[in-house]
Structure 1
């Protein structure tokens, strides 16, 4: 009897891996065609960290809890239902631990005081935050400042409030400020305008460091194994920080803004969606439609930092701008750069249109400001800041 020859799948994979890149891609495509002809999918065809059926998965996402799908229903009831779903998928229980705020350092600066405060951001974590409080009797309008990611973990809160307590962090923070903020510290600029500001390190940054870029995915996986969520913790801590800020005697609890850049912008509109303590939001350079973000080459497809913004299962119910729209009809300003490599123009346009429809449905279109800055990329430079702070003044300054 004639012996049949065969090649194992591992052998095929090994052979392809030894080919030059173009040849390897051609080989993979040929393999895929062969498997398809045989009636089953190749287990080895993954392009850009995406499965070969990614487009089919995207097509199945119809965001049934979006306001666009619930038009004609009570807006308040929609917000309660949609927020409840987001809260469920945070995998972080509501935390009502006492904040137990303690001022551990205070120094005078021109026009305001610099403070370091300790407080319980959750039942598990007592953190050091920085504050700037204007001189005078108050109560003052305030801003919760949400720092970015940037794969730079040695500083967190120091990216937004100039550190007076650590020379090493000061050098690092000034370099970051030059790179993204025209040499300004956003918090110090707001304090000079009469706002009290608060900044807190997210888990992994600054005082809460010890994280490297390639450790993020493992950290997130370990949270999942513990029945919890890294992204959910980030969201819960930001809600708690807003709530703590509202309790301070110097603060007008009705005039608290959330302000952030990059991942901080994501955090800003997210906390506005989940917290009634936020009266207005400024979010620079983080808004897109989910489907338009999940395209070849996008940074999100690498994993790692994406886990700080990944709530498992959420997008089966709501698109990214749908979540941000839970803040409606409160004032919100979104700024994006036309040349930002992290977000496609199509994704930004889709998101802006969805959000515009929500605010206008509540006769509050004038409270939503969306701006795409031509010739600017992933930055929050002086001219963007000046525009944003003037807008914020009109909403929160008396």
Structure 2
């Protein structure tokens, strides 16, 4: 049983008895005392290894008029995952790259595909984009502006989705037989797979804790490993790397940008609040963002304080039912205070949009304009 879970959760995600304080490796690279205090507190909450790197196994290229789609399959200590690297036809390497960390949305079967895949034969992706993205394959707009786009699958999504051999352990025989009787990739299969994955989040959260780690550590370690892979590529302009993410992708962007200084500009979209102010009805987020004991020592704006003096744009949805408005406002006020204290207030931006939890066309335009001004020029 342990072997099956090790192969899925990853042997590198447990605390390392020989190097329990990973933050000491990067403390001296931070400029301000409050950043060092945040790192020292964070090191006891997350089990990270900043030198992890996915090793490319193979890649498959598909050529389109406006871009080349490269699907990279890679290995990390026995874990196999995928990322998409989209290269624009209107520019040449080394490319400025936007790392896009995808969202949750209850859509587990696909990860990276939601931002770029042709949805003409994929009803689930089409419905998803209608709800969250103004029906747009918005990665293509980034390509039109000359950016390359790199989007990896997150743990529990896409090629890192929950494997059927583990599903069989947790669901009843009738449900498992129903799933395996359907054609994988069909509308009915994806619908049932998404429902099962959603229902199992709670018990997977418990099993991750029994295993000896926490869910955010797994997510962030794999994002770190993918970024380190990207940094080894010769077709990437290392001086022009940005990171962005909506919802769960915003949470992932926040932590990856805080820990990896190679990211020059960051956009956290619809995921900035003070967790300590979310007791009550808004405390219904995915289990994936819960770091045990986090709010005893830190909060999300403190993590944002690790990004400065680099550029950060926080995009908030004022009608977002997942966060209290006062907690969103106090979060950006706290980040603003950090940037002001460090003498780089001009590098922090935020804006509230009059809409629910989504990354719509108005937000997309502002985000892409911001990226063009800060890493493309």
**TM-score in terms of structure 1 length:** 0.74
Residue 80 of structure 1 and its aligned partner are, at CA, apart by: 3.3
Given that residues 285 and 336 in structure 1 are in contact (C-alpha distance below 8 angstroms), is that contact kept between their aligned partners in structure 2?
yes
Give me the whole-angstrom Cα distance separating, in 1, the residues matched to 2:101 and 2:40: 23
Inter-CA distance 322–97: structure 2 relative to 1 (3 Å threshold): closer
Give the 5 Å matches for 1:43-58.
Answer: none
Give me the whole-angstrom Cα distance separating, in 2, the residues matched to 1:98 and 1:159: 24
Which residue number corresponds to residue 359 of structure 2? 380
Give me the whole-angstrom Cα distance separating, in 1, the residues matched to 2:271 and 2:361: 18
Within the alignment, does 1:268 sit opposite 2:268 as a pair? no
Given that residues 98 and 241 in structure 2 are in contact (C-alpha distance below 8 angstroms), is that contact kept between their aligned partners in structure 1?
yes
Given that residues 83 and 151 in structure 2 are in contact (C-alpha distance below 8 angstroms), is that contact kept between their aligned partners in structure 1?
yes
Within the alignment, does 1:206 sit opposite 2:206 as a pair? no
Partner SS for 2:209:
helix
Which residue number corresponds to residue 292 of structure 1? 277
Partner SS for 1:204:
coil
Residue 213 of structure 1 and its aligned partner are, at CA, apart by: 1.1
Give the 5 Å matches for 1:111-130.
Answer: 111-120=66-75, 122-130=76-84
Residue 143 of structure 1 and its aligned partner are, at CA, apart by: 1.2
Given that residues 52 and 221 in structure 2 are in contact (C-alpha distance below 8 angstroms), is that contact kept between their aligned partners in structure 1?
no
Given that residues 254 and 277 in structure 1 are in contact (C-alpha distance below 8 angstroms), is that contact kept between their aligned partners in structure 2?
yes
Which residue number corresponds to residue 23 of structure 1? none
Which residue number corresponds to residue 38 of structure 2? 82
Partner SS for 2:305:
helix
Which has the higher relative contact order, 1 or 2, with Cα contacts under 8 A spaced 6 or more apart?
Answer: 2
Which residue number corresponds to residue 190 of structure 2? none
Residue 266 of structure 1 and its aligned partner are, at CA, apart by: 1.2
Residue 369 of structure 1 and its aligned partner are, at CA, apart by: 0.8
Residue 95 of structure 1 and its aligned partner are, at CA, apart by: 5.8
Which residue number corresponds to residue 391 of structure 1? 370
Partner SS for 2:223:
helix
Give me the whole-angstrom Cα distance separating, in 2, the residues matched to 1:84 and 1:242: 23
> Which deviates the most, 344-353 or 220-229?
220-229
Inter-CA distance 194–258: structure 2 relative to 1 (3 Å threshold): same
Give the 5 Å matches for 1:226-265.
Answer: 226-265=211-250
Moved over 6 A (4+): none
> Which ranges of structure 1 fall in alignment gaps of 5 or more residues?
1-73
Given that residues 71 and 83 in structure 2 are in contact (C-alpha distance below 8 angstroms), is that contact kept between their aligned partners in structure 1?
yes
Given that residues 83 and 153 in structure 2 are in contact (C-alpha distance below 8 angstroms), is that contact kept between their aligned partners in structure 1?
yes
Residue 125 of structure 1 and its aligned partner are, at CA, apart by: 1.3
Counterpart selection for 1:338 from 298, 310, 318: 318
Offset from partner CA, 1:348-391 (integer Å, 9 cap, x none)? 111010000011112211111110012x1111111111011101
Which residue number corresponds to residue 140 of structure 1? 95
Given that residues 89 and 311 in structure 1 are in contact (C-alpha distance below 8 angstroms), is that contact kept between their aligned partners in structure 2?
yes
Give me the whole-angstrom Cα distance separating, in 2, the residues matched to 1:289 and 1:107: 43
Which structure has the greater CA radius of gyration?
A: 1
Give me the whole-angstrom Cα distance separating, in 2, the residues matched to 1:331 and 1:103: 34
Inter-CA distance 257–87: structure 2 relative to 1 (3 Å threshold): farther
**TM-score in terms of structure 2 length:** 0.78
Given that residues 129 and 157 in structure 1 are in contact (C-alpha distance below 8 angstroms), is that contact kept between their aligned partners in structure 2?
yes
Give me the whole-angstrom Cα distance separating, in 2, the residues matched to 1:311 and 1:125: 23
Given that residues 94 and 236 in structure 1 are in contact (C-alpha distance below 8 angstroms), is that contact kept between their aligned partners in structure 2?
yes
Give me the whole-angstrom Cα distance separating, in 1, the residues matched to 2:66 and 2:54: 27
Give me the whole-angstrom Cα distance separating, in 2, the residues matched to 1:233 and 1:160: 22
Offset from partner CA, 1:234-254 (integer Å, 9 cap, x none)? 111112222222221111112
Counterpart selection for 2:117 from 162, 172, 191: 162
Counterpart selection for 2:134 from 151, 163, 182: 182
Given that residues 141 and 255 in structure 1 are in contact (C-alpha distance below 8 angstroms), is that contact kept between their aligned partners in structure 2?
yes
Residue 345 of structure 1 and its aligned partner are, at CA, apart by: 1.1
Given that residues 162 and 188 in structure 1 are in contact (C-alpha distance below 8 angstroms), is that contact kept between their aligned partners in structure 2?
no
Partner SS for 2:261:
coil
Q: How many residues align?
A: 314
Residue 292 of structure 1 and its aligned partner are, at CA, apart by: 2.0
